[in-house]
Amino acid sequence: MKALDELTFDNRFARLGDAFSTHVLPEPLDNPRLVAASPAAMALLDLDPAVAESPVFAELFGGHKLWAEAEPRAMVYSGHQFGSYNPQLGDGRGLLLGEVYNQAGEHWDLHLKGAGQTPYSRMGDGRAVLRSSIREFLASEALHALGIPSSRALCVIGSDTPVWREKQERGAMVLRLAPSHIRFGHFEFFYYTKKPEQQKQLGEHVLAAHFPECLEQPEPYLAMFREIVERNAELIAKWQAYGFCHGVMNTDNMSILGITFDFGPFAFLDDFDAHFICNHSDDQGRYSFSNQVPIGQWNLSALAQALTPFISVEALRESLGLFLPLYQAHYLDLMRRRLGFTQAEDDDQKLVERLLQLMQSSGVDYSLFFRRLGEETPEQSLARLRDDFVDRSGFDAWAELYRQRVARDPIQGQDLRRERMHAVNPLYILRNYLAQKAIDAAEAGDYSEVRRLHQVLSRPFEEQPGMDSYAERPPEWGKHLEISCSS
């Protein structure tokens, strides 16, 4: 394991030059202190988890100190926000401190969020507040533990720095890791500003650094775009299967690597609602839960437009046509496993759709239903779950089809069935009310609940003694929390 001063930097993105980013130093937080750190994320940098408790840790990730090899840069990009093109966005409160590679040869961006003003802050203060930093820290690690590709969060640093949003809050910084923070909006920026040389330079960098296998194909850019389509189809299938709502699927918040990031007002479904809107600011419901699939395809088409200098329109359209079939295949495969099936049948999609319709009309808890479905034999589980449904006759009809479907599946034995289902059906998810309770405690100076919740969510599929309260249905107040982008 390494100490903090032993990290090895290789700042590839910074070497692209000033057309791609601007050198900016972090603005230090007042009295920085550790709120929480993720040992699993620290391991990605080969860091000893014990260094998180050292004073220099909070100073480094609170903006007071910097490695000599770091080159903090604010990236420039553009993007479509709520469907409208914004010509220049960029890192308005974040800095790419540099790229570190570990002993396995993996490169990780060190991206400090809440680091102060940059040339792209657009009248903002460049700060992040404690509540949003805690939410990102918890969500990043929770998504990863569920098997959903995501940026990672190494730590949250709190402070005494006052920050004004709807009220006065305290500033914080979150250090997030990803193999790359390049977005769809990076390509859009150079396309719409008509800078073909920089766009080609960006494309060559992305191919070499992140899609080297595509360089061996006859059309590297086309191979890369197809890979991006495939990764995003699988990503959004996992969002939908686990009831995750991103909240702000602007093209500047979409990763070229197909990972989840820049999710501010996110939520996991409590009661199943296909039309759920998790972002209080999304008046039209553009980014509702049910819209995430078509919006994913829309965003890929916006990226395709930006790649027309490199790829024919016909080939781009053909590649975009792969998105929905790939999404449906990934989604149905995961939903089959959540229902305990090991083989595919033609009517499985209808069985899933009918279940979701029944859950919608009865307000059934999405995550707990699947977990409880695998607890006992199908007959016992269905008998217990029946009481959650208003339409009893409708549920009974579905349950009979489900029992017949289970009987046809080759898996044998309830113990094996429970093991397989519990491996994909989490007992613990990051419900908004759980995050809010941890935030309330942290804002009062008690960080223990943030750390405890993080530990629980790092093992979402395993029953953890003494943690029953984290697996309960939320109270009514917890289902109606309003989350906005004002972080």
- Residues with a known catalytic role: 252
d(C-alpha 44, C-alpha 175), whole Å = 13
CA atoms within 13 A on the CB side of 376: 8
> Which tokens in the block code for residue 314?
């016909």
Pinpoint the alpha helices (H) of 109-259.
130-146, 184-192, 196-210, 220-242
CA 377, 383, 384, 390 dihedral sign is: positive
CB atoms within 10 A of CB 393: 8
Q: What is the DSSP letter of 119?
A: T
Neighbouring residues of 211: CB distance < 8 A, sequence distance ≥ 6: 220, 223, 224, 227
Cα torsion 470, 473, 477, 479 to 10°: value is: 100
Burial of 349 (0-12, 13-18, 19+ CB in 10 A): middle
Q: Is 108 helix (H, G, I), strand (E, B) or coil?
A: strand
Residue 483 bridge partners (DSSP): 279
Report whether 427 contacts 371 (CB < 8 A).
yes
